[in-house]
Amino acid sequence: EMDSLQKTNKQDALEQESKPKKVKGASQMESLELYQSGKTIEDIAQLRDLKEGTIATHLSRFLKTAEVKVEDFITDARREEAMEMMRKNPDQSPYKTLNKFLTQTELMFFSAWLRLQNEE
């Protein structure tokens, strides 16, 4: 017997199958291509009718593939300062420590960059 969560997941899966299938990551690729063509995050958000945070999330995923550079979104100096603030507040989450210091976009790229440092 299926529990309600499994049922919900099954319904979600069925609903998704009935929609035209989007290639996974296609939306992120579209944001990347617009960015590479010289558009800013603000431009892309307006063009695509999405929030700037969504576009920043899309683009920050490409740090891993080096298709975008962290320096384009947060200066080395601010990144250093952010690292220093985190060292001084080791018990706080990066978000809590930095959300008043960094813009939402900077925080997004800084966090993605930090994850990559930890993977290496």
pLDDT per residue over 17-59, tens digit each?
A: 544 556 778 999 999 999 999 999 999 999 999 999 999 999 9
Residue 114's nearest CA partner among 89, 77, 86, 72 is 86
Domain ranges of the chain: 1-68, 71-120
- On whether the CB atoms of residues 34 and 40 are closer than 8 A, the answer is no
| DSSP 8-state code for residue 1 | -
Indicate the pTM of the whole model: 0.74
Contact between 58 and 32 under an 8 Å Cβ cutoff? The reply is yes
On average, the pLDDT of the chain sits at 86
